[in-house]
Structure 1
Amino acid sequence: MARKFVQLNISKQVAYVTLNRPDKYNALNFEMFSEIDSVIRELKKNRSICAVILSGSKGNFSSGLDVKSVIQSPMQPMKLLFKWLPGNANLAQRVSLGWRRLPVPVIAVIEGCCFGGGMQIALGADIRIAEQDAKLSIMEAKWGLLPDMAGLVSLRELVTKDQAMLLTMTAGVITAKDALSKGLVTEVIDSPMERAIELVEQLAKTSPDANAAIKQSINKSWNSSIRSLLSRESISQIKLLLGKNRIVAAKRQTGDPDKAYQARQSWW
């Protein structure tokens, strides 16, 4: 499928997704929202990939919503925000929440600016690796708005409530070092893309089914009751025991380290 503003390249079972509107610092127009949503749907069907690396082109992650572009058409804001039920995710929310719902680890590589909607997208990733000079901001309050792209789902797990209030109400720009101290990013490093590639090489050595189960268990059990957590763990473990990749993992540990994993089970 041809896409103009989002690039998808798959190499060695790793999906590289690049926000590609460099002349606008990868600002989000309506087409980019649609293309990100499309990429997420495509990746969800691909059981051969073991990880996703999400980044922005030409040294910036994303400067956030391209307000001028989106408001040029009265229908575009409506299409971004429309949902059949209040509890469903609309298009603007799916481009963040969708990464959490993929059954593979998603690593965001944050370079340059990561503001507003771009920060909301990065929050949807499982791991965020920022370069030393990156700048981050939850910037919606600057425009008289609240962050409404589902980034709060992850934000409430990453930072304390008072820090969430401070970050969102002030719309302040913070350094990568400050973001790390607050828990907003996972690591700060000079070469975040190299680090991301190193991590996916490590992830490729473990079962894609186990990684899918772990991601699902952590995301769904983080704030759930103990009974729900115990139930989910037991059901997931039974699925793993019945799957072929559990046998592959055992063989890799007992003398056949190059044994290839099979495609992820469809139930994840």
Structure 2
Amino acid sequence: MDRVLCRLEGGVADVRLNRPDKLNALDDAMFAELIGVGERLRHEAGLRAIVLSGEGRAFSAGLDFAAFQAQADARPWRPAAVEDAGDPPDEFGVPGLVLGRGQKAVWVWQVHEVPVIAAVHGFALGGGLQLALGADIRLVAPDARMGVLEMDWGLTPDMCGTQILPRLVGVDVAKELTLTARKVTGEEAVRIGLATRVCADPREEALAIAAQIAGRNPAAVRAAKSMLNRAWDEEAMKAGFRAERAFMERNVGSPLQREAVRARLDGAARR
């Protein structure tokens, strides 16, 4: 079964995470397909906008549970190919930037010339939330549950979250969400700047907005997104992405991180 579905119609790419039985949890195959679909769409003639959503009851509940069990057992939790040893030092046209697998799965949407709209319902947790952060606009259901949950597993966000989140909600709120792993509803997410707007049906609204954008002057749309994105400090961003990768490589499998994962797994087993 394809982990990521993609349908093109009227200049709009409808991209859907497709592991509904696992709440669209992110495993290696999902990462690979997100990157593959994202990169392929960058070369799609006539593309005007992208909608990113999830099948079933959630946008994405985050990293696949099996990966955490592997971390607790000190087993490899991702294939060696994910280490990106052969990556060129020029990711998505940014000189000197080399990204990890999870970072690529997020940043591939941000570097698109066309607008990307995330439609969030159900859970958007951990890596699932960071995936939504890669979009330009986030439409959320009022009862969606969103959270930076990495700290529960002895981890830090490593999918561009440490760089994007503070720009949306402010440094203090980003620290509170990250350090406490507190979940917020869609309503609160909009209040604090984590999401753009609450919608009863986020995907339907996202597709409507995408269709509206598709009818605009495509050159103007791409130029507007590019100019707005220049608010990013490129050198600071690159340094932040490198720090995310470096700490993840040092931390995963360390005694303290394994202890955090085992505690979390034990708590889940008792519930």
TM-score bin, normalised by smaller chain: 0.7 to 0.9
Q: Which residue of 2 aligns with 1:49?
A: 47
Matched AA of 2:20: P
Do residues 155 (structure 1) and 165 (structure 2) align?
yes
SS at match of 2:230: helix
Instruction: Say whether residues 1:21 and 2:23 are aligned partners.
Output: no
**Deviation digits for residues 158-199 of structure 1, max 9, x if unmatched?**
111100000111111111111111100000111112211221
Counterparts of 1:174-185 in structure 2, within 5 Å, are 174-185=184-195
**Relative to structure 1, is the Cα distance of residues 148 and 208 closer, same or farther in structure 2, using a 3 angstrom cutoff?**
same
CA RMSD of aligned residues (A): 2.1
For 1:38 and 1:182, locate their aligned partners in 2 and report how far apart those are by CA, in whole Å.
Answer: 32
Structure 1 CA distance for aligned equivalents of residues 230 and 80 of structure 2: 30
CA distance in 2, matches of 1:30, 1:110: 22
Corresponding residue number in structure 2 for 1:133: 143
How high is the TM-score relative to the length of structure 1?
A: 0.78
Tell me which residue corresponds to 1:100.
110
* Residue-by-residue CA offset, 1:16-41 (whole Å, 9 max, x unaligned): 11000011100001000000000011
Instruction: For 1:146 and 1:207, locate their aligned partners in 2 and report how far apart those are by CA, in whole Å.
Output: 40
Looking at structure 2, the residues matched to 167 and 122 of structure 1 have their Cα atoms a distance apart, in angstroms, of 16
Shift in Å, 1:124: 0.2
CA contact 1:18–1:54 (8 Å) conserved in 2: yes
> What secondary structure does 1:221 align onto?
coil
Partner deviation per Cα, 1:179-225 (whole Å, 9 max, x = no partner): 11110000011111221122112212211121111111111234479
Q: CA deviation at 1:88?
A: 1.2
Instruction: Letter of the 1:30 partner, please give it.
Output: D
* Structure 1 residue 12, shift from structure 2 partner: 1.2
The gaps in structure 1 that reach 5 residues or longer are: 226-268
Q: Distance in 2 between matches of 1:178 and 1:211?
A: 29
Identity of aligned residues (%): 38
Distance in 2, matches of 1:136 and 1:45, equals: 31
* Contact 2:12-2:211 at 8 Å conserved across structures: no
1:12 aligns with 2:14: no
* Aligned counterparts of 2:83 and 2:175: Cα–Cα separation in 1: 23
Distance 1:115 1:80, change over 3 A: farther
Alignment of 1:102-251 (within 5 A): 102-223=112-233
Greater gyration radius: 1
In structure 2, the partner of 1:76 is 78
**Structure 2 stretches of 5 or more lacking a match?**
90-95, 236-271
Query: Offset at 1:78?
Result: 4.6
- TM-score, scaled relative to structure 2: 0.77
